[in-house]
Structures are given as C-alpha cells and as structure tokens.
Chain A
C-alpha cells in the first residue's frame, strides 16, 4: 500500500532563511505521481507541484524548488528566502498510476515564518 511520511511536524524559521521540508514515500507501483499542497489557515488546499515517477529533474519555481530522488524515495521541498506569507501547513501526497487509488497524504509539516 502507498504511504507518505513527513517526519517534520513543525518547523519555525526566521524570515529570509531557507527551509527544506522532507517527504519520503512508499509504493509498489513503478509509475506514480507525487504532489505538494499548501494549506494556509483559511483551509483550502493549494496545489504547488506534481511530479511523475519517470521525471527526476529537479524543478524550480521562483523561491520554491523540489528535489526528487527515486533512489531514496524522497521528494523534498525547499523554500528559499522564506516570507511570512509562506506560513502554512504543507502536505506531500502520492497517487499511483492506475488512478484507482486517490491521493494519499502525509501528515503535513506546519511551517511558521517569523518576521
């Protein structure tokens, strides 16, 4: 069965610091999809990125970057020069190729960025 582990429950950083959120996953499928979502205090889940299992290229989007390593089953997320608006709960999630099993979420990491 698929599983996502986010070992960091809470992280607190000072504004402008870089921070990395860890995500480790388990799946028996060779084709799968990994996601990161942001959940601000208002509650909605905001999609950040999707990565399929065949694409190990790292991705950068502004201050956000993602490091996907199949060898360690990890999909880590780094925020560079953090800002107060980055404060939220961040979820890593996994979906297997068949599409029959919906998203499975990790427990989330609560990030607090202090001014």
Chain B
C-alpha cells in the first residue's frame, strides 16, 4: 500500500462547527505532515509529527489542533474557523531522518470551505 488516504474529500462547515480531517497511511512511515494550500499558492507547512510526537508547529492558530493517535493515523481537529481558513488541506507522510528525502507521499487533500 503506497497511498495516503484523506477523508473527507470535501467539507463545508460553519464558523461555530467542530469537525475533523483524517489522514491514514500504511507504508510504515513515522513522519506525518499537514500542509495548507490556498488557491493559486504553494502548499504551506502547518505541522509535523515524528514518531507520533509533534515536532514542528509553524505558528498555526489554536483553532487547528493536530493529533497523531498512532503511527498510521493523523487527525486535524477544527474549531471556530474563519472563512479565510478555506483551503485545500494536504496530508503527507515520509520516512524519518535522512531517509525522509527518499519519499514524501501526499494524499489527495480535503477541500475545506468555511461559511
């Protein structure tokens, strides 16, 4: 299995809603990432988990809360989002250490719209 699976593919939520994005991989990768991509922009790193521990938080607002319950699963919990948070959210996984450069695999993303 060489895929990263993201669910849901599309999500519309109100500013008072709580929702979660899910990402799953079964490649044995121990690093997982959340990227945010606005329209016509490159992906921007949000969070990195390494061995299920948060290693990088790129100063992301607390209304985004990541969680890595096990080595295969990565969640992004959303609460009290703003319309400007509407974007494509991409999950990726990779090996760790220097081997990371041998494979970043991206999911197909969740297209989030905040109304």
Contacts and interface: CB of A to CB of B under 8 A. Distances in A.
8 contacts: A33-B101, A43-B88, A50-B102, A50-B103, A91-B43, A99-B98, A102-B33, A105-B43
B45 interface: yes
A45 B101 contact: no
B42 interface: yes
B111 A43 contact: yes
B105 interface: yes
B108 A43 contact: yes
Contacts, number: 55
Interface of A: 33, 35, 37, 42-45, 47, 50, 52, 91, 95, 97-99, 102-103, 105-108, 110
A113 to B, nearest CB: 18
Nearest to A91: B42
List the 5 shortest-distance A-B pairs measured between CB atoms, nearest first.
A105-B42, A44-B108, A45-B106, A33-B101, A99-B100
A106 B98 contact: no
Nearest to A108: B42
Given A35-B104, A45-B43, A102 B99 contact: no
Contacts of A103: 45, 104
Given A42-B108, A45-B90, A99 B41 contact: no
Nearest to A89: B40
Interface in B32-89: 33, 40-43, 45, 48, 56, 88
A52 B108 CA distance: 26
